[in-house]
Structure 1
Amino acid sequence: MRKSFLFTILFVFCGSLWAQTQLFYNQMGYKPEQQKIILANKARFDSIYVYNSKGSLQGVFPLAPKAFWDAARDSVRAIDLSAIKDTGTYRLTFPMSSQSYHLRISNNPLQTVTDAALKFFYYQRAGEALPEKYAGKWHRPAGHPDTLVYMHPSSGEKGTMSSAKGWYDAGDYGKYIVNSGITTYTLLTLWEEQSEKFKKRRWNIPESTLPDLLAETRYNLDWMLTMQSKDGGVYHKMTALNFCGSIMPHEDTDKRYVIGKSTTAAMNFAAVMAYASRVYAPFDAKYSQTMLAAAKKAYDWGLENPRIIYHQPGDVQTGQYSDQDPKDEIFWASAEMLLATQDTKGPYMKQLQLLQAPIRIPSWQMVNALGYYTMARHPKIFGSLGARAQELIVAKADELVKVSQQNPYGISLDNGDFVWGSNSVVANFAIAMVQAHRIKPKAEYLQYAHRHLDYLLGQNPLGLSYVTGMGFRSVLNPHHRPSEADGIDAPVPGMLAGGPHDGGHDISEPHNPVPWQCKEYRVIGFPAMSFIDHRCSYATNEVAINWNAPLGYLSASLE
């Protein structure tokens, strides 16, 4: 990357001069019938003028009173433009001001977002060259064939093995089973719920007999299958011993290792393989049977070894994805196994009954909601548990709506939700509302799901689209090695940056600076402002497969 674009907060008092008004809204636009709430920051006036594409005055719209959000230590004023329903590009300006913004209304403003978010996985392929025909200016040679990887002592085995294909997990070049779990599940769910849409949907990846969504997902499933040991257990990850620098995949020639085993890896694997066996059965019966057999072996191993926790070996510095409590993984895997096998009398139902717990919004380390989502989509086979799952999802969505109604930005985050990957929290909150809408249709669920996506696409306190290449002011310098090293100004498009939080994991100590770490960028106590668009920030500006999957799912669901 050549550009350096740092987003910082500047507070300037210049006598009688007013700070410029900022408008925050979805930079990709809105559908004609959609609610269109835009937000004004530092507004000097009580109304805004809207002109249509012909230059005629469309209307004068009032600004609501100020509403304060403590996570951003600032106030905004809402402007409701929902009455504007004709497609076109509109110019928004304030009285006696030369400053203007442009807002787009179109029939499908999100298709570009969906396609880019899903094509991201193609750009993350390991072991495969990306030719210009498919990758455009982001074409690159193949890297990490992984046909000869070494068994780390923590794997309990010796020698070498082949572990080809799969997706690079994030901004680095590792491949991790645990994070592949929730990612692959989300893409399989997108197919299960919207297969008609995706049967012919294409985003220019190498041709396959499968629809693009399933072809891309299979590329990762093929790798996951290589990670199962003969005893049924599943290796935790496949990485080098340390992260490499900002180099292209083919330039990274460090030895790579299969590292560790864990209960969480086994149960993530079992859940995904069981689910995938259902999805791929109409396309490839033999492949489906292979995955179901692998799922059974992994599930049985996990029940026999319910507390094998991954601990990072002393010589390994790559991502840990260590989870101290595998019960939610066992719960989710049990739901998928029961549905795939149709066995309601075996261990699966027993585990589901035993491990019921309050539903938690999903993340890589908390996946019980995925089990509930599956049961809610298939209530008949799960009986009373299916009905209970539906009740829990609707109750959770109602809770999220209530919080969103109190937030000036229309989202359900409070200060405690600004964690590493906070933007994926936003997306997964919205997905919970989409799931509830499928169970019990309610306009508010989709209304606030849209507001969460609006936040990701520019309606946030920084006025920044957190999705690369989407919008007029989007992330330019993600922590993503190919985008850092390819010599191209624009990053790979469609990547969701992790998002703001004030953990400061990537900040160098002033008295002992580290060249590749960030200088202080946080606004302590105001996490919504603690973000920097610089490649140094792996804490706020990295990308990851488990963040892009919910972005793709959410955008597709709201198209």
Structure 2
Amino acid sequence: MIAVVAALLMATAAVPAYANQEVEQVVNGGFDSGTEPFWANAGMTIGLTDGRACADVPGGTVNRWDAAIGQNDIDLVAGETYRFGFDASGDAGHVVRAITGLAVSPYDTYFEQSPVLGGWQHYEWTFTATTTTGQGQVAFQVGGSPDPWRFCVDNVSLVGGVPPEVYEPDTGPRVRVNQVAYLPTGPKVATLVTSATTPVRWTLNDRSGKSVSAGRSVPRGIDPSSGQNVHTIDFGSVRKAASGLTLSADGETSRPFDISGRAYRKLRSDSLKFYYTQRSGIPIRDDLRPGYARPAGHVDVAPNQGDGAVPCQPGVCDYTLDVRGGWYDAGDHGKYVVNGGISVWELLAEYEHNRGSRKLNLALPESGNRVPDILDEARWELEFLLSMQAPSGLVHHKIHDRAWTGLPLLPHLDPQPRELHPVSTAATLNVAATAAQAARLYTPYDATFARRALAAARTAYDAAKANPALYAPESDGVGGGAYNDAKVTDDFYWAAAELYLTTGDRRYAADLLASPEHTADVFGPVAFDWATTAVPAKIDLALVPNRLPGLSAVRKQVIAGADKYLAIQREHPYGVAYAQPNGSWDWGSSSIVANNLVVIAAGHRLTGKAAYRDGLISGLDWLFGRNALNISYVTGYGEVAAQNQHSRWYAAQLDPSLPHPPAGTLAGGPNSSIQDPVAQSLLQGCVGQFCYIDDIGSWSTNELTINWNAALAHLIGYVAELE
């Protein structure tokens, strides 16, 4: 069995250290002396059958941990590598969640695997501890089945001091291509990883293996983002549509790909369909999303404590708010205004700037109501954002569980209390910006909603001006992300821009012109994200008709930003429009690449110049496989694609009865900081693009989020109209 490596979260108890000794931590793992010291949950009894421990698992439980067998007082030592193994059998098709965790509150899970059982089989993995505890636990969680079944286990072992597994990613062939498709009239470039320092011959082959083009590569030297010696292969002269093509060079043959003029139309819809299965407060219908059906989450039905009347954290406020609905932010059950804000902006910008989005069929419950589906989907989040507005006009920063929950956990099974977190200036301005944007776009379809949105936007903007320095604290990260942001001049600028574009009010124009963001170069290595929102303002000011004094200067700034990202892309051996000065890669790098390309798209919209079109199209390649890991970061697109993004309900890696993320889901991408235990165990010393692993436990490199998919949807919406 392939070894899987994971790591441990923090614990506090100290135990004596040992090194390079294989020490068994489980007592009586072969059950030669009965069943002690193993325990079982209430309602279960462990018995011996042929020397093996067996238990009849009750039916009708909800969670995996509702029925379990385990042993406590397990010693774990930071830096030690452990081999966790056991033999098990169970009624066919049932799953055991085998974990190493903390036996006391908060009962953290450190390592887990969820094999599907049948006849007797041996299971074995390794992981490396990053902390020390004497209160560890080995457990087999077998609950969650409506029907009773029988589980047996033997030879349970947790051996410390074993040699660590060396993680080597499977990067496939050394010829890296866009595994989805190249456009017939666009650039076509591949990257060859090679030790050669002089040009090598390449051949483009059709499905039958016949050569259709050939040439020589261009050496590019060492790529700082990967540490690889690479060459560029340019086959842009080939314009005929074809499928199943491959590139061969230096004894390697690429994964297959297409040349197609309709390559991204389905992805345009799929990237937006992602949002329906992220919805809170509504059942997800199987007829609309086969395989993704689930009950409504957080609608005040047990075990949920619900979002219908959510109180504030203690001491924050004396009221409750009905904040049902909206999108779950990422792989957890939290809902965050600042991340929802930038996500809504991208969807509404895709609608406002790309005409084809108005005809998309997203298979929503609202489809057929004479409102474009993309507006129906965005409104689901807009209604939530508006509901987060406090009586003061300020907006609460976020709402989520009081404590973190484990994986997997479907939204309707979340038992945690929900809490409103304090209001913030940033959240208030996010509502001001997106509600103002909505007011001008929804007027033809629902004038009443548009007026309500504009009133909320005006109120929020005034409240923010009266309270310009209410910041979400960095320390507020229990049960949900902090999303702290102590710079809000960009948020003020964005909100003023959207209010001005909708109303033409001179008051907002004056605020725009007086903002330090108005003349600043805001096009840094990261063009924009939830914490950096001046660029959305400039893009909308440049593209939406208006009479702002000095508007030509704003347009020139956007074009200069596009030029900057084009220059970065031309210099990058992998053709990426993103490069940090220190060579590091940021959290959510795939969405950064996408958003930088959105700026290039705006440059094309403003100028019509082919250089921007070519740069935009070529920039897609990195997302879809022309990268150091030879992987597409979009689920369902490409021969080898990410499919184990961090999520509590798209969790097939942990529970085969659950689905992988839906097609069109963007993974986070390389992150040099590797904050999560899985990444820290596997990727220490990684270089740039190699700081990624497609593992559900790697939340710092492989999360999915609403704002990352919004970047993909916004980008692909423009590309689809170039086909």
Q: 1:288 aligns with which of 443, 450, 463?
A: 450
User: Partners in 1 of 2:646 and 2:345 — Cα distance?
Assistant: 25
Cα displacement (A) at 1:100: 5.5
Q: 1:358 aligns with which of 517, 521, 525?
A: 521
Partner of residue 30, structure 2: none
Partner of residue 203, structure 1: 362
User: Partners in 2 of 1:368 and 1:144 — Cα distance?
Assistant: 34
TM-score under structure 1 length normalisation: 0.91
Whether the 8 Å contact between 1:50 and 1:90 is mirrored in structure 2 is no
The one-letter code matched in structure 2 to 1:500 is P
Partner of residue 521, structure 1: 682
User: Partners in 1 of 2:448 and 2:429 — Cα distance?
Assistant: 22
The one-letter code matched in structure 1 to 2:574 is Y
170-179 or 307-316, which deviates more = 307-316
Partner of residue 194, structure 2: 42
TM-score under structure 2 length normalisation: 0.71
Percent identity of equivalent pairs: 29
Cα displacement (A) at 1:94: 3.7
Whether the 8 Å contact between 2:425 and 2:468 is mirrored in structure 1 is yes
Partner of residue 533, structure 2: 367
Whether the 8 Å contact between 1:182 and 1:364 is mirrored in structure 2 is yes
Matched, 1:103 2:257: yes
Q: Look up the SS of the partner of 2:222 in the other structure.
A: strand
Q: 1:223 aligns with which of 384, 387, 391?
A: 384
User: Partners in 1 of 2:166 and 2:261 — Cα distance?
Assistant: 35
Matched, 1:58 2:212: yes
Partner of residue 663, structure 2: 493
Over 3 Å counting, the alpha-carbon distance change for 1:99 and 1:164 in structure 2 is same
User: Partners in 1 of 2:248 and 2:477 — Cα distance?
Assistant: 60
Cα displacement (A) at 1:11: 9.8
Q: Look up the SS of the partner of 1:391 in the other structure.
A: helix
Gaps of 5+ in 1: 13-18, 508-516
Partner of residue 181, structure 2: 29
Over 3 Å counting, the alpha-carbon distance change for 1:173 and 1:340 in structure 2 is same
Q: Look up the SS of the partner of 1:214 in the other structure.
A: helix
Whether the 8 Å contact between 2:489 and 2:515 is mirrored in structure 1 is no
Cα offsets for 1:15-37 (capped at 9, x unmatched):
xxxx9852211111112111111
Cα displacement (A) at 1:114: 1.6
Partner of residue 558, structure 1: 719
Matched, 1:330 2:492: yes
Q: Look up the SS of the partner of 2:649 in the other structure.
A: helix
Whether the 8 Å contact between 1:500 and 1:527 is mirrored in structure 2 is yes
User: Partners in 1 of 2:276 and 2:694 — Cα distance?
Assistant: 24
- Structure number with the higher helix fraction is 1
Partner of residue 511, structure 1: none
Over 3 Å counting, the alpha-carbon distance change for 1:365 and 1:87 in structure 2 is same
Over 3 Å counting, the alpha-carbon distance change for 1:431 and 1:341 in structure 2 is same
Cα offsets for 1:70-99 (capped at 9, x unmatched):
110002211112122221224435479585
Whether the 8 Å contact between 1:179 and 1:546 is mirrored in structure 2 is yes
Q: 1:169 aligns with which of 329, 332, 336?
A: 329
Aligned 1:44-443 pairs, distance under 5 A: 46-53=200-207, 55-92=209-246, 94=248, 99=253, 101-145=255-299, 146-153=306-313, 156-195=316-355, 197-208=356-367, 209=369, 210-246=371-407, 247-311=409-473, 316-344=478-506, 346-355=507-516, 356=518, 357-360=520-523, 361-378=527-544, 380-384=546-550, 386-415=551-580, 416=582, 418-443=585-610
Cα offsets for 1:382-411 (capped at 9, x unmatched):
121x21211111111111111211111112
Over 3 Å counting, the alpha-carbon distance change for 1:446 and 1:387 in structure 2 is same
User: Partners in 2 of 1:358 and 1:56 — Cα distance?
Assistant: 50
Cα displacement (A) at 1:470: 1.2
Count the aligned residue pairs: 540
333-342 or 61-70, which deviates more = 61-70
User: Partners in 2 of 1:449 and 1:259 — Cα distance?
Assistant: 39
User: Partners in 2 of 1:131 and 1:526 — Cα distance?
Assistant: 42
Q: Look up the SS of the partner of 1:134 in the other structure.
A: coil
Cα offsets for 1:436-490 (capped at 9, x unmatched):
1111222222222223221111111000001111111001211011111572463
The one-letter code matched in structure 1 to 2:366 is E
User: Partners in 1 of 2:172 and 2:327 — Cα distance?
Assistant: 43
Kindly report the root-mean-square deviation, in angstroms, between the aligned alpha carbons of the 2 structures: 2.6
Over 3 Å counting, the alpha-carbon distance change for 1:449 and 1:206 in structure 2 is same
User: Partners in 2 of 1:9 and 1:69 — Cα distance?
Assistant: 22
Matched, 1:450 2:602: no
Whether the 8 Å contact between 1:141 and 1:250 is mirrored in structure 2 is yes
User: Partners in 2 of 1:34 and 1:358 — Cα distance?
Assistant: 30
The one-letter code matched in structure 2 to 1:191 is Y
151-160 or 90-99, which deviates more = 90-99
The one-letter code matched in structure 1 to 2:228 is D
Cα offsets for 1:494-544 (capped at 9, x unmatched):
11111112212112xxxxxxxxx5552225362211111111111000011
User: Partners in 1 of 2:478 and 2:563 — Cα distance?
Assistant: 43
User: Partners in 2 of 1:222 and 1:423 — Cα distance?
Assistant: 28
- Structure number with the higher strand fraction is 2
Cα offsets for 1:100-149 (capped at 9, x unmatched):
63221112111122221111111100011111101111222211124423
The one-letter code matched in structure 1 to 2:657 is G
62-71 or 167-176, which deviates more = 62-71
Q: Look up the SS of the partner of 1:205 in the other structure.
A: coil
198-207 or 270-279, which deviates more = 198-207
Cα offsets for 1:240-278 (capped at 9, x unmatched):
112211111111121111111000000010000000000
User: Partners in 2 of 1:271 and 1:11 — Cα distance?
Assistant: 43
Q: 2:693 aligns with which of 519, 532, 543?
A: 532
Over 3 Å counting, the alpha-carbon distance change for 1:151 and 1:447 in structure 2 is same
Cα offsets for 1:192-249 (capped at 9, x unmatched):
0123x12221132223311111110011111111111112111111111122111111
Over 3 Å counting, the alpha-carbon distance change for 1:229 and 1:159 in structure 2 is closer
Matched, 1:544 2:705: yes
User: Partners in 2 of 1:294 and 1:200 — Cα distance?
Assistant: 29
Over 3 Å counting, the alpha-carbon distance change for 1:205 and 1:134 in structure 2 is same
User: Partners in 1 of 2:325 and 2:179 — Cα distance?
Assistant: 35
Partner of residue 512, structure 1: none
The one-letter code matched in structure 1 to 2:529 is S
Over 3 Å counting, the alpha-carbon distance change for 1:489 and 1:23 in structure 2 is farther
User: Partners in 1 of 2:614 and 2:709 — Cα distance?
Assistant: 21
Which is greater in Rg?
A: 2
User: Partners in 2 of 1:297 and 1:227 — Cα distance?
Assistant: 13
Over 3 Å counting, the alpha-carbon distance change for 1:184 and 1:63 in structure 2 is same
Cα displacement (A) at 1:57: 2.7
539-548 or 113-122, which deviates more = 113-122
User: Partners in 2 of 1:295 and 1:24 — Cα distance?
Assistant: 47
Over 3 Å counting, the alpha-carbon distance change for 1:80 and 1:104 in structure 2 is same
